[in-house]
Amino acid sequence: MVPYPAQILFSKVEIKGLSDLKGKKVRASGWTTSQFVEALGATGVTITFSEVATALQRGVVDCAVTGSLSGYSAGWGEVSKYLYPLPIGGWDYVMTVIRLDVWNSFSPEERKTIESLIKEKLEDPAWADANDQTQQGINCLTGKGDCQYGKPNAMQLIEVTPADMELARKLLLEHVIPAWAKQAGEDAVKRWNETIGKVVGLSAEIKK
Element (H, E) at 83: strand 82-84
Contact indicator for 11, 65 with CB cutoff of 8 Å: no
Domain shared by 13 and 63, yes or no: yes
Domain shared by 152 and 166, yes or no: no
- Dump pLDDT digits (tens) for 15-29: 999 999 999 999 998
The pTM score is 0.87
Q: How many CA atoms lie within 13 A of 35 on its CB side?
A: 19
Domain holding 199, by residue range, is: 161-208
Residue 1 covered by a domain: no
- Dump pLDDT digits (tens) for 149-188: 999 999 999 999 999 999 999 999 999 999 999 999 999 9
Q: What is the mean pLDDT of residues 82-89?
A: 92
Residue 146 covered by a domain: yes
Last residue of a domain, one of 122, 137, 160: 160
Residue 76 covered by a domain: yes
pLDDT at 110: 97
Is the pLDDT reported for residue 1 higher than 60? no
Contact indicator for 152, 140 with CB cutoff of 8 Å: yes
The structural domain count of the chain equals: 2
Domain shared by 65 and 116, yes or no: yes
Residue 54 covered by a domain: yes
> Quick count: other Cβ atoms within 10 Å of Cβ 12?
20
Kindly list the distances between the CA atom of residue 70 and the CA atoms of 73, 88, 102, 113, in Å, as whole numbers in the listed order. Answer: 5, 15, 38, 35
Residue 63 covered by a domain: yes
pLDDT at 30: 86
